[in-house]
Structure 1
Amino acid sequence: MAQSLLTEQPRAAEADLVRRAVGKDEAAIRSIIQTNNRRLYRVARSIVRDDSEAEDVVQEAYLRAFSALPEFRGESSLATWLTRIVFNEALQRRRRRVEQPVAQPNPPPETQSQVIPFPFAGHRTVDPEHVIAQREIFRLMERAIDDLPEDFRTVLVARVIEDMSIEETADLLGLKPETVKTRLHRARRLLKSALSDHIGPLFSDVFPFDGARCGRMTEALVKRLLISA
């Protein structure tokens, strides 16, 4: 009984949020968008493999979703419902791109969105060299995920990056749960192999102590030695 009540409470809260959004309540609309933005962007990005196009997909999907929101019946969670809309929109966008290829210039690096934003560990100050190294690892991860076959890439993004359950992922992709498990296993093996090929040569530069860090310590040590001399 207690578990049933816990399940009913989120559903009731979500139903109220939907009702308010249908009534054009700005706070409710913002809440839905902000809660689901990251998942929807990543799912779209896993299919279209382009940052700006993934943003376009998500925006178009939101427009479709909010226009259909009065018909939302809560048979699945709102997040799952939105994810299906984004998934289908991304597939349609990719088909149109294949049928009518259009060359589009890439946005400058400083305006590109991060595909998989990993937070820095802890709250300590990170020196510029460390930031640059982490950004390079991000790029390697993104490139390796982009290079996965789509069947494996979409499963990996849904299960590992967005932490969707096996059942949610199977429902989203129209697969059997066993197929999701198999594809996830293959995706992880391919990703591990790709990262090993790219990151292996970088191990010689791990834990760097040069540049600004080396300079700061050298200056501080020289001053202490001169003072004590």
Structure 2
Amino acid sequence: MAMTETIAASGAASDMDIVQRVLNGDGMSFELIMRRYNRRLYRIARGFLKNDADAEDTVQDAYLHAYRNLARFEGKGPLSAWLAKIASNVALGRLRSSGAGTEGISFDDPEAQEEANFMADVIANFPTPEQNAARGEVRRLLETAIDALPDAYRMVFMLFAVEGLSVNETAECLDVEAATVKTRYHRARKILQEQLASLVDATAGELFPFDGARCDRIVAGVLGRLGLPPGDSA
């Protein structure tokens, strides 16, 4: 059966069913997992790294780690949360090993004065009103504002608000307390609301669009690195 037919036939298959297929030797079924969660992992990585190419590389690395450690997934929580944790760890590792080192990365709770400084930078980098009207980049304004949030706030906002992880799942991804997640989410939302008002709730679900070409590219990259033949779904 062609992979396109396999994907269509497996649309209703549970994550655990697909995981079991992979563990039983059907490595190509891992493509079903990737196509199911590509958009989520990409947006998480993009929210952490603020760079499209780095985010794609991070997603591939996260999938490789997940594939090689799939037997450790016990199904006690959703596969989506397990993958999100892996992607978060890979993204954080990439940040810490970047050329800038860890000095420029702050995971501590920023002070109010620092919040104002971050938003001043955001405003300075916004396109002009004329450009916005001509290009219809309202969503891009919100993406720019999120990119400029302090690290501690941006990561919580991407996991909790954009990707819809629970408070506990977000806390586990970032190794912080659930109360910290709630506090940082509300502070991040306040910063964004002050600048963009109702745009936060209206457009959060449409952030960082994930097109078919990027999905295919990530899948092909992971399959190639695993030594698996490409499917017919591209």
The TM-score range, normalised by the shorter chain, is 0.5 to 0.7
- The whole-number CA distance in structure 2 between the counterparts of 1:187 and 1:99 is 24
- The whole-number CA distance in structure 2 between the counterparts of 1:73 and 1:150 is 31
* 1:75 corresponds to 2:76: yes
Structure 2, unmatched stretches of 5+, are 1-12, 102-131, 198-234
- The whole-number CA distance in structure 2 between the counterparts of 1:64 and 1:174 is 19
- The whole-number CA distance in structure 1 between the counterparts of 2:55 and 2:93 is 12
1:132 Cα offset (Å): 2.6
* 1:36 corresponds to 2:37: yes
- The whole-number CA distance in structure 2 between the counterparts of 1:155 and 1:99 is 22
Query: 2:99 aligns to what SS in structure 1?
Result: helix
State the match for 1:179 in structure 2. 180
State the match for 1:154 in structure 2. 155
1:75 Cα offset (Å): 2.7
Q: Does the 8 Å CA contact 2:81/2:169 hold for their aligned counterparts?
A: yes
Using the aligned pairs only, state the percent identity.
42
Go from structure 1 to structure 2 and tell me whether the alpha carbon gap of 1:165 and 1:29 turns closer, same or farther (over 3 Å shift): same
- The whole-number CA distance in structure 2 between the counterparts of 1:30 and 1:57 is 17
- The whole-number CA distance in structure 1 between the counterparts of 2:34 and 2:133 is 33
Question: What is the 5 A alignment of 1:123-202?
Answer: 132-133=135-136, 136-195=137-196
- The whole-number CA distance in structure 1 between the counterparts of 2:100 and 2:144 is 25
1:99 Cα offset (Å): 4.8
Structure 1, unmatched stretches of 5+, are 1-11, 101-128, 197-229
1:59 Cα offset (Å): 0.6
State the match for 1:58 in structure 2. 59
Q: Does the 8 Å CA contact 2:81/2:165 hold for their aligned counterparts?
A: no
1:186 Cα offset (Å): 0.3
State the match for 1:24 in structure 2. 26
Structure 2 residue identity aligned to 1:24:
D
- The whole-number CA distance in structure 1 between the counterparts of 2:156 and 2:93 is 18
Report the TM-score when normalising by structure 1. 0.62
Q: Does the 8 Å CA contact 2:142/2:196 hold for their aligned counterparts?
A: yes
Query: Which one has the bigger helix percentage?
Result: 1
- The whole-number CA distance in structure 1 between the counterparts of 2:99 and 2:79 is 30
Greater relative contact order structure (CA < 8 Å, 6+ sep): 2
